[in-house]
Structure 1
C-alpha cells in the first residue's frame, strides 16, 4: 500500500492533537499529515482534522447514530475517499424512509472501520469533534505544511470562508495560489471582531486616532451588491436575502454600481428604541413576512464600485461609506476628545444600546479576527460562552434542563474550558426552549445532566471573575446570569479563557 494515507492516520493525528495542550505540537502533527496527502485528499482531510464533515452537515441525528451497533473491522482499510463518498451518499438521501436508509449507509461505513475509527466517525457525524477554536491551529498547520506565511493563509481563509479550499490552494500553489483569493461580490467574508476593553479611557489611550461608535444590540449583517443583485449574510456567513426584503430594497437604492457593506441591523419600536434582540433574530429565520421592520446601521465599507478597500485604513473606508450610505451610518465621532467620547457613550446607553466600539483609524480590515484594533466598551461585564452541559432542575424546575455548565474558548484549539455554572436569568420560555433544544444536541448524559455538542453560545452577564481551583482554567465566574442565547454566533466566536482571565486582572 506504500505511503497511502488512510482514515486511521487522520484519526491518530486527531487523537494526538486532542491529547496535547501545546499549540506548537498540535500544529506540527497536523502539518506532517497534510504534507503526505494526495492533492484530491487535501480538502476532505482538512475538514476531518478540523472536526467537520467534508461538504458540511449531513442531517444525521443523535438517535440514528446511537442506534448503530456494528462490529468493527480488525484492520484499518478505510480511505479518505471512501469516507467522502459515504458522506455524500448520506447527504443525498431524502424522502420517505430516509432515516432508515441513512442508517444503512452509515452502518456499512462503520462496518469497514476499526473501533477507533468508529468512535471518530460517530463523533464526527454527531458534531462532537467540531471545535471552532481549532481553526487558528489549522491555519498555522497549513502554512507550515505548504511552507508559506501564516498571514497569507489567514487572508485566503478570511476571503474564502472555507478552510478546506484554503488548504488545497496553499499545498497546490503556495502563496501565488493563496493570493488568487479575492473579495468576490456575492461570496461573504468572515467579519472583523472587537475585543473587550475595561474602560473607555483605556481604549482611547491604547488606540490614539480613532472613531467612537455606538455598539448596537442588533445582529451583524454583511451586504453585497453587484448591479441590481443584492445579497445579505449573517455573522456566520448564512444567506438571509429572502427574509429581509426591506434591506435589499434599501441597498438597491444606493448610488453605486457595486458595494460591500458591514453593519448591524435591528428592529426598533415606535419610539426608535431597539426591540429585544430575539425579535431581530426571528426575522432572519422567518418563513413568512413579519411585521417588525429592520433598520440597518452600517459601519464599514469593504468594496465600492470595483475597488477593494480591505487593506485601506479605516479612515479611507469610512470616507467611502460616507460617500455611498451617509444616511445609514452608525452614530459616532472621529478622534474625539475624551469628553466627546464619553458623551457618545452616554448617548448610546440612553438610546437603549449596549455601549461603544472604539476603532483604530489606521487599521485595515482584519476579517475573522478578534484583534486589538477594535475595542468594545460596555457598562457591565458580559461574556459569550459555550454551553457544555446542563443539569436537570429541582422543585419548580423539575422536568426542565436548568443549571448550565459554561466554557470559554481555548485559543490553542482544545475543547472549551469550563469556567462556571449558572441557572439564573432563565425565563420559563428559555427553560422550555433549552430543554427541548439540548436533548436534540445531546452527546449522552446521566440521571442528573445532559452533555452537549459544544456549539451553542450564550451571553452571560457577571459581576466579575475570581481565581478558583475548582475549574481547569483557574478562574470562576462571579454571580453569572443568562442574558440571552446568541444564534448568530458559533463556538469559534466565543470569548477565550484569556479574555476571562483578563477580567481578573481588570479588577
Structure 2
C-alpha cells in the first residue's frame, strides 16, 4: 500500500464531522492493508508511531530543507523501515545527529508535500492526540466484520491497539483469535476509568444500593504485577515505573500469593498521615516515600478476575492486601454514602468513587459503573497555547488556552491564568517552549501534549471560542503528567454542563 493512501485517509477523516463516515474511511484503508501493514497503518491513523520517541525535536524537523517529491512513491513498509532506523538513532553521541538528519532528509525528500506534512506532524508529536483511539477500535471491528466489544476487550487485555488490529485482520477466524487474547501477568492491562458524577443523588439513582463508596485518593495510578519473586509496576499510561518504586516492589513480594495483578494508587503521605499534594506524589516516585493503596484485583494465582463482579474482586483483594485496601463503605444508605464522602474530604482526599458491585472490569470510561464525586467540577483539558503575561507577570508565560477533546483532535474552549503560583509560572515559562510549534508577539502555540486539571463553576454557551462553550471561573488545579491525552475530557462532556 502506498503511504499516500494513509495520508489521504487521515485528511478525509479530518474533513468530516460524521462519526459514521470517519469509521468507514478508516475501515476501508485497514481492509486494504496487507498483513504486515496493518499495525503501522493503525498506529499512524491513531496518531502515534509504534517506535515511540525517536529523539527528533522541532528544531531538527524545521532544519530539514528538501524539495518534496512530485509523485507518491513511498510504501507503508518504506516509511515503517525509515522510522525504525530513526528510532535506532535516538539519543546523542558522535555522529548521531548527522546520521539522524541524513536519514530524515532522505525520508522527507522521498515524500510528497502532503506526505511530508503528515510525517512532520507524526514525528513532532502533533498527531499524538489519542482522540482517534475509539474510532480506530470501531474501524478495526468494521474492517474485520466482528463485534466492536470483542475488539475492545482484546485491546484492553493486550494494551496495544496496532497488535489488536493485526490479530483481527490477520486471522481466518478473527472472533476466535480476539477472544483468545487473555490477561497475561507481566503484561499491563488498559485501566478502567470512572465517569464524572453530577451529584451523589444522581449517581445513586443510576447505580442503586448495590454499591461501594471509596475514597478517591489524590495520588498516582499504579498497576502491580507479580509472578514469583518478579514484580513489575506500571503507571496509568502503561509506562513501566518499577525502578522508581522499590518500596512497592518490596511490599508486593511479601503478599501471600504467587501470581497477582493489582490496580490501585500510590501517594506521598505527610507526617500527620494526611496525603500530600498530587505533585508531591509524582515527585516522590523514586525517593522511597510512596505508599500503595489498592481498589481492585484482576488476577490471583492463575485465576483471571476481570469478568468477575467487583464484589468478588474486592473479596479477593482484601484477602491479599489486608489493610492496604482503599478506605470504603459497602452498601451504604444514602445518608451513610453522603457521610462517607464527607469523611474522604476531611481526610484530605479529593473526593469519592461510587462503584456498582456487579460491574466487571472494562477498560476506559465506558458506561457509568464507576462514578467519581467531587465537591466541584474538575476537568482534564489540554494546553493549546500560552500568552505572555503583563504587569507583575511580565516575562512569564501566563494565560493558557484550553482545549477539549473531539474525534478530530482538540478544540479551544477557554483561557485562564487563575490558580497559578509563581512556581507554576516559572515551570510554564521553562517547559512550554519545548512543545512550541509557532509564536507571535503575544502567544506561544504548542503541540497538544500537556494535560492540565481545571476546576470551574460551570459551562455556558458562547461563540467566543471554537468549541461553542465558555468555562465559568476556570482555574488551574495541577498539571497531569500521569494523564494520557486519550483520557482527557471531551467537548461533549463540557457541553452537558451548559446552563
Place the TM-score, normalised by the shorter chain, in its bin: over 0.9
Q: How many angstroms apart in 2 are the aligned matches of 1:142 and 1:57?
A: 25
Matched, 1:438 2:439: no
Equivalent residue for 2:48, pick from 40, 45, 52: 52
Q: How many angstroms apart in 2 are the aligned matches of 1:455 and 1:154?
A: 25
Residues 89-488 of structure 1 mapped to structure 2, 5 A cutoff: 89-93=85-89, 94=91, 95-173=93-171, 174-208=174-208, 209-284=210-285, 286=286, 290=287, 293-410=289-406, 413-488=407-482
Q: Show CA shifts across 1:237-269 (max 9, x none).
A: 011111111111111111111111111111101
Number of residues paired by the alignment? 494
Q: How many angstroms apart in 2 are the aligned matches of 1:180 and 1:392?
A: 54
Q: How many angstroms apart in 1 are the aligned matches of 2:408 and 2:299?
A: 36
Q: Show CA shifts across 1:316-360 (max 9, x none).
A: 111111111121000011111011111111110111001110001
**CA displacement at 1:381 relative to structure 2:** 1.4
- What is the RMSD computed on CA atoms of the aligned residues? 1.2
> When the two structures are superposed, what TM-score results if normalisation uses the length of structure 2?
0.97
Unaligned residue ranges in structure 2 (runs of 5+): none
Unaligned residue ranges in structure 1 (runs of 5+): none
SS of equivalent residue, structure 1 residue 342: helix
**CA displacement at 1:223 relative to structure 2:** 0.5
Q: Show CA shifts across 1:127-156 (max 9, x none).
A: 111221100000000000011110011111
Q: How many angstroms apart in 1 are the aligned matches of 2:491 and 2:100?
A: 39
**CA displacement at 1:370 relative to structure 2:** 4.5
Q: How many angstroms apart in 1 are the aligned matches of 2:426 and 2:402?
A: 19
**CA displacement at 1:18 relative to structure 2:** 0.8
Moved more, 292-301 or 135-144: 292-301
Q: Is the 8 A contact 1:456 1:490 kept in 2?
A: no
Q: How many angstroms apart in 1 are the aligned matches of 2:368 and 2:449?
A: 25
Once superposed, which parts of structure 1, at least 4 consecutive aligned residues long, lie more than 4 Å away? Answer: none
Q: How many angstroms apart in 1 are the aligned matches of 2:100 and 2:367?
A: 42
Q: How many angstroms apart in 1 are the aligned matches of 2:478 and 2:274?
A: 19
Q: How many angstroms apart in 2 are the aligned matches of 1:366 and 1:445?
A: 42
Q: How many angstroms apart in 2 are the aligned matches of 1:497 and 1:383?
A: 11
Q: Is the 8 A contact 2:268 2:284 kept in 1?
A: no
Q: How many angstroms apart in 2 are the aligned matches of 1:194 and 1:100?
A: 47
**CA displacement at 1:395 relative to structure 2:** 2.1
**CA displacement at 1:436 relative to structure 2:** 2.1
Q: How many angstroms apart in 2 are the aligned matches of 1:111 and 1:274?
A: 54
Moved more, 13-22 or 199-208: 199-208
Q: Is the 8 A contact 1:41 1:81 kept in 2?
A: yes
Moved more, 372-381 or 292-301: 292-301
**CA displacement at 1:100 relative to structure 2:** 2.5
SS of equivalent residue, structure 1 residue 357: strand
Matched, 1:25 2:21: yes
